[in-house]
Structure 1
């Protein structure tokens, strides 16, 4: 099959959506299919990566905020191309929004992966979402990552029936291999320290401020909190680094053996950190279906997470995590209650039999249902069923 995946950003850019599309695209190529990704231009990027052809467009923005750049060139590309399947990943961004009014004129079967509708309750997007049910019905199929999140509930409330559930996952080739390095030695973490991990870019929306304060209040000893995240324009990276310097000098922390490390690591080192961690702390403010939780399953790392995205559903599916006490605003943003979350962190971190049970349950669920290998096969079967193409 000839497959087109459209997404606002792609490798070497990092992030949840980029990871999803890269994992699916490369595995479909390995399955013998011709895959193209249409995405934003990145200086110095090759025209292909691991067999995936990359078509770049200098475009930014979305329907509500307006577009900038090669808008007409992208439209012409969609209308002039002949793919068997065209899949739009994520709403509220140019690569999908520019396609929506032209769906009937784009060749091939059309698939939409909405990934959460994060602006559903934003009044500026009212007209956008008023039109969305019609667009959803014009796609041949809509793939939802959750059976109980606001995007699938929106679809059901508006009579959309052309839907299927395919979750996110984590990769066997990353998490079944021996770690690339001894992360404790590399970062100077004492061998006897408990290791609590957080992974997420410094966007300001991953709950980093809450995570640091939860760790600060939790009465833990001989514990390192490792926060891994890429810098982000106008994000919280500098603030987190400053807090690390200040908190690590506190006499109370020195006495109890607490340490906060805020670092940016490459992928191999990040996977090594997952495999070395005792517990994952994730008080994120907004998510759809957080890949980091699936990576916890794959690495046998129990997790504490805010009630953001479909985190509660992932807990039901896996038995590997616990919800932090969370308040969810009418607009859909989550905020963990710090004091209660610190108490939960204390009790969970010190309950070793429970941690072992959660780790085992999560790994078993991942191996059975949530590897990218299995998920890519679900997409491949979906594409075959849509096109009637056995090849």
Structure 2
């Protein structure tokens, strides 16, 4: 098959949607198919073929509601590339971003089999997106199939309410190649974490919505001595070393009192996390309770090592669709405690690999964990070695049998072939 996957951004950018598209695309290549990615231009992308996957880049960004950045000529070039590309399959990954939004009014012009993977409709309850979602029901019907990551989340429920019949569910996953036989390779030693210390891990970009602040609040209150909370997430670096220092210093100053006021003065989750960690570590030192918080920006290899070393994965996120990190935690034999954001409840029920923190879901679609109740659940799980072992075993077995990218990619391949036949 000649397959095109469209995604907002791709390697060297690193984020959840990029990981999904990369895993599926590269494994489809290994199965003998020709796969191309249409994505945003990056000056740091040096190769037009990455691990067998072709890259076509466009100087476009944004979305149709908040504005698509780029010239009309570039938009036309993107549309014509897809219409005239003679692809068997065109799959649009994620709504609310330019690579999908530009195509929505032109779906009837695309003769390839068209697949849409909405990934959550995170702005469904945002009034600014009302017109966008007023049209979404008709757009969904113009696709040959719509793939949802959960059987009970707002995107698939929206589709059903609007009479969309061409839909299926294919879950997220974690890579067998990355996680099978994974070892921590002394990551504890490099971070000065004792082998007898209880290690809690949270992995998520510093967007301000991945639950870093909540994780620190839960951990600070929890009676878990001789332990470490490790926060792993990427943050912005600038090409100029001096610009990086200056911008980071200004953000540090502006956000210095954010841990008191609860107000984020600039978008700087990484720096807020760093400040809070230093303050809490000072309090831990005064109490002599052998607790500490470490904030790190790891590469992928070190992130995998951290997964392997962790005793528990803590993920009180505010907004998700189907969190990849829960599958990665299970693949690393690490039980999880997560908010109910996205389809985390469904993942926990299907895999028995973790527990759900008491969570309040707001009308705007965002979630907030109940801190005090979450503290009690964390303390109970910390004390219950047998339950943690059961969750670890259940989650790993479920991942290995049902949720590797190798298994999931074959489900995509089967769907693609069925549509073509």
User: What's the TM-score once normalised by structure 1's chain length?
Assistant: 0.97
SS, match of residue 218 in structure 2: helix
Q: CA deviation at 1:252?
A: 5.5
For 2:209 and 2:64, the matched residues in 1 are separated by 23
Matching of residue 148 in structure 1 with residue 178 in structure 2: no
Q: Which blocks of at least 5 consecutive residues in structure 2 are unaligned?
A: 238-266
For 1:218 and 1:137, the matched residues in 2 are separated by 49
Q: CA deviation at 1:59?
A: 0.3
Q: 2:298 aligns with which of 258, 265, 276?
A: 265
Matching of residue 130 in structure 1 with residue 134 in structure 2: yes
Partner of 2:51: 50
SS, match of residue 17 in structure 2: helix
The 1:235–1:80 alpha-carbon spacing in structure 2 relative to 1, beyond 3 Å, is farther
Q: 1:277 aligns with which of 300, 310, 321?
A: 310
Q: Which blocks of at least 5 consecutive residues in structure 1 are unaligned?
A: none
Q: CA deviation at 1:87?
A: 0.1
For 2:270 and 2:119, the matched residues in 1 are separated by 25
The 1:235–1:107 alpha-carbon spacing in structure 2 relative to 1, beyond 3 Å, is farther
Partner of 1:31: 31
Structure 1 residue runs of 4 or more that deviate by more than 4 Å after TM superposition: 251-254
For 1:22 and 1:329, the matched residues in 2 are separated by 32
Q: 1:176 aligns with which of 163, 177, 180?
A: 180
Partner of 1:65: 66
1:148-297 matches, cutoff 5 A: 148-179=152-183, 181-232=185-236, 234-251=267-284, 255-297=288-330
Matching of residue 333 in structure 1 with residue 331 in structure 2: no
Is 324-333 or 243-252 further displaced after alignment? 243-252
- Checking the alignment, whether the CA contact within 8 Å between 1:81 and 1:107 is kept in structure 2 is no
- Checking the alignment, whether the CA contact within 8 Å between 2:7 and 2:93 is kept in structure 1 is yes
For 1:297 and 1:317, the matched residues in 2 are separated by 12
For 2:220 and 2:166, the matched residues in 1 are separated by 47
The 1:280–1:179 alpha-carbon spacing in structure 2 relative to 1, beyond 3 Å, is same
Q: How many pairs are equivalent?
A: 388
Partner of 2:106: 102
Q: 1:303 aligns with which of 325, 336, 342?
A: 336
Partner of 2:242: none
1:326-370 deviation line (CA, Å, top 9, x unaligned): 110011100011111111111111110000000001111111110
Matching of residue 363 in structure 1 with residue 367 in structure 2: no
Is 378-387 or 239-248 further displaced after alignment? 239-248
SS, match of residue 250 in structure 1: helix
SS, match of residue 44 in structure 2: coil
SS, match of residue 407 in structure 2: helix
For 1:112 and 1:232, the matched residues in 2 are separated by 30
- Checking the alignment, whether the CA contact within 8 Å between 2:3 and 2:90 is kept in structure 1 is yes
Partner of 1:78: 82
Partner of 2:383: 350
Q: CA deviation at 1:324?
A: 0.7
The 1:209–1:100 alpha-carbon spacing in structure 2 relative to 1, beyond 3 Å, is same
Q: CA deviation at 1:52?
A: 0.3
1:128-183 deviation line (CA, Å, top 9, x unaligned): 11111111111000000000000000011111110011000001111113436211
User: What's the TM-score once normalised by structure 2's chain length?
Assistant: 0.90
For 1:253 and 1:153, the matched residues in 2 are separated by 50
For 2:236 and 2:343, the matched residues in 1 are separated by 24
- Checking the alignment, whether the CA contact within 8 Å between 1:196 and 1:277 is kept in structure 2 is yes
Q: CA deviation at 1:270?
A: 0.7
- Checking the alignment, whether the CA contact within 8 Å between 1:181 and 1:269 is kept in structure 2 is no
- Checking the alignment, whether the CA contact within 8 Å between 1:201 and 1:232 is kept in structure 2 is no
Matching of residue 112 in structure 1 with residue 113 in structure 2: no
For 2:330 and 2:380, the matched residues in 1 are separated by 21
SS, match of residue 249 in structure 1: helix
For 1:377 and 1:153, the matched residues in 2 are separated by 25
Please provide the CA RMSD for this pair: 1.2
For 1:153 and 1:169, the matched residues in 2 are separated by 22
For 2:147 and 2:23, the matched residues in 1 are separated by 16
- Checking the alignment, whether the CA contact within 8 Å between 1:203 and 1:232 is kept in structure 2 is no
